Structure 1
Amino acid sequence: MPSLYSNLLQKLEEFMIKDEKLGKEQSQRAIKSSLLSGSLSMALCYIQRVFRSGPLHPQPRILCLQGSPDGPEQYVAVMNAIFSAQRSMVPIDSCYVGAHNSAFLQQASYITGGVYVKPQHLDGLFQYLTTVFATDLHSRSFIQLPRPAGVDFRASCFCHKTTIDMGYICSVCLSIFCNHHKKCSTCGSVFGQAQSDTSSTSDLKRKAPET
Structure 2
Amino acid sequence: INAHLLQSSNNEVAVYGSFPHEALFLGPKNDEAIGLKFTTFSSNLMKSIEDLYSDEKFQEAMASESKGYSKIGSALKKSSCFINSWNLKNYRPDVTLNSRIMIFQASSDNNDDYYSVVNSIFACQKNSVVIDSIMFNKQDSILLQQCSYLTNGIYTKTLDREEIVNFLFMDNYC
Structure-1 separation of matches of 2:160 and 2:69: 22
Cα 1:133–1:66 change in 2 (3 A) is farther
Q: Which residue of 1 aligns with 2:131?
A: 92
Q: Deviations over 1:145-198 (max 9, x none)?
A: xxxxxxxxxxxxxxxxxxxxxxxxxxxxxxxxxxxxxxxxxxxxxxxxxxxxxx
Shift of 1:129: 2.1
**CA contact under 8 A between 2:138 and 2:159: conserved in structure 1?**
no
Over the aligned positions, Cα root-mean-square deviation in angstroms equals: 2.7
Structure-2 separation of matches of 1:48 and 1:124: 31
**CA contact under 8 A between 2:79 and 2:101: conserved in structure 1?**
yes
Cα 1:43–1:133 change in 2 (3 A) is farther
Shift of 1:31: 4.6
Letter of the 1:43 counterpart: S
Gaps of 5+ in 2: 4-37, 50-64
Instruction: Choose between structure 1 and 2: higher helix proportion.
Output: 2
Percent identity between matched residues is: 26
Q: Deviations over 1:92-131 (max 9, x none)?
A: 0001111200010000001110000112533432222222
Letter of the 2:163 counterpart: G
Correspondence 1:52 to 2:88: yes
What pairs up with 1:61-80 in 2 under 5 angstroms? 61-80=100-119
Letter of the 1:32 counterpart: G
Gaps of 5+ in 1: 15-28, 136-211
Shift of 1:45: 0.8
Q: Which residue of 2 aligns with 1:113?
A: 152
Shift of 1:36: 0.6
**CA contact under 8 A between 1:51 and 1:57: conserved in structure 2?**
no
Instruction: Choose between structure 1 and 2: higher strand proportion.
Output: 2
Letter of the 1:38 counterpart: S
Letter of the 1:105 counterpart: L
**CA contact under 8 A between 1:97 and 1:122: conserved in structure 2?**
no
Bigger Rg over Cα: 1
What pairs up with 1:8-19 in 2 under 5 angstroms? none
What pairs up with 1:107-186 in 2 under 5 angstroms? 107-119=146-158, 121-132=160-171, 134=173
Letter of the 2:71 counterpart: L
Correspondence 1:34 to 2:70: yes
